[in-house]
Amino acid sequence: MKPNLVIGNWKMNGDQQTNEVLLRNVLASQTNEGHLEVAICPPFPYLASVAAHLQDTNVVLGAQNLSPATHGAFTGEVSASMLRDIGCRYVLVGHSERRALFGETNEVVAQKFAAAIEQGLIPVLCVGETLDERRAGITNSVVTTQMTAVIKHAGIEKLTRGVIAYEPVWAIGTGETASPEQAQAVHQHIRGVIGSFNKQAAIDLQILYGGSVKADNAKALFSQPDIDGGLIGGASLDAASFIAICNAARINPRGTA
């Protein structure tokens, strides 16, 4: 069984000075206790300096985005091999902000996912419904469609080499969190979709919850049987909050000893 996983997504926040203070505080609190891996995804310009801070610690590096292309004339883009080169282990793919604000379609997301796998990165596929979609009762089918695009492009085996993050769009940055039961229901659905292809891969898959995870709601979310950690936005910018969220995830994954 893989450990739980907590990823801090700094989004477009921070500068050299605030990053340094935040990292120093977060790293001072890291222990090897519990079944947990912690990753931090800073903005591109800070990947190298954060990588240097993380060296010889048990916190790993991730990126927030990548190009589907391998190299060449793509001004402003960053490739999977560059992310590997700088020391990334994870890369977020298809975050709802990229889908909504930068026009990323399911097909582009699938290409990015495959590009990440190709270079040995672990893509974190973000899926989730809008409020209108939830109200229309189509949450599960939206999430299935988002996963199916990757399965069609890259195949089920590659999808299971990644991580899936369920982030209901209506819960991101709003202070409104999916209840543990609402989140669990979608996580169970996601695991079920994978399980219809490969039962063992479904058991092994890490499925994270994201959307206004805070110190005071993390434990209830992470205690759900199909929630294997969190993808944390705002609260990852505050050392005390992020540390508390990490500690809430230092529990045995899905009831294993």
* Binding span for ligand 13P by CB under 6 A among 17-25, 44-52, 113-121, 207-215: 207-215
Which listed residue (60, 122, 190, 231) binds ligand 13P by CB under 6 A?
Answer: 231
Cβ(201)–Cβ(230) below 8 Å:
no
What span, in angstroms and rounded, lies between the C-alpha atoms of 142 and 76?
30
Closest listed residue to residue 2, CA positions, set 160, 219, 217:
160
How many C-beta neighbours within 10 Å does residue 255 have?
8
Nearer to ligand 13P, 114 or 231 (CB): 231
C-alpha torsion angle, residues 149, 152, 153, 154 (rounded to 10): 110
CB under 8 A, 24+ apart: contacts of 200-205: 201/156, 201/157, 201/160, 202/160, 203/1, 204/1, 204/2, 204/160, 205/160, 205/163, 205/164
Q: 175 Cβ partners below 8 Å, 6+ apart? A: 212
Give the phi and the psi of residue 36 in degrees, each rounded to 5: -145, 135
**Which range binds ligand 13P by CB under 6 A, 22-30, 74-82, 99-107, 229-237?**
229-237
Q: Could you tell me the smallest distance in angstroms from the CB atom of residue 238 to ligand 13P?
A: 11
- Please report whether residue 246 would count as binding ligand 13P according to CB under 6 A: no
Active site residues: 95, 167
| Span of 53-61, 66-74, 136-144, 165-173 interacting with ligand 13P by CB under 6 A | 165-173
Per CB under 6 A, does 211 bind ligand 13P?
yes
Nearer Cβ to ligand 13P (123/234): 234
Measured from the CB atom, the residue of 11 and 158 that comes closer to ligand 13P is 11
Toward ligand 13P, which CB reaches closer, 52 or 131?
Answer: 131
Find the binder of ligand 13P among 155, 173, 192, 225 (CB under 6 A).
Answer: 173
Residue 253 interacts with ligand 13P (CB under 6 A): yes or no: no
62 binds ligand 13P (CB under 6 A): no
Q: For residue 81, what are its two tokens?
A: 């091999």
User: Does residue 213 touch ligand 13P according to CB under 6 A?
Assistant: yes
**Which residues of this chain interact with ligand 13P, rule CB under 6 A?**
9, 95, 167, 172-173, 210-213, 231-235
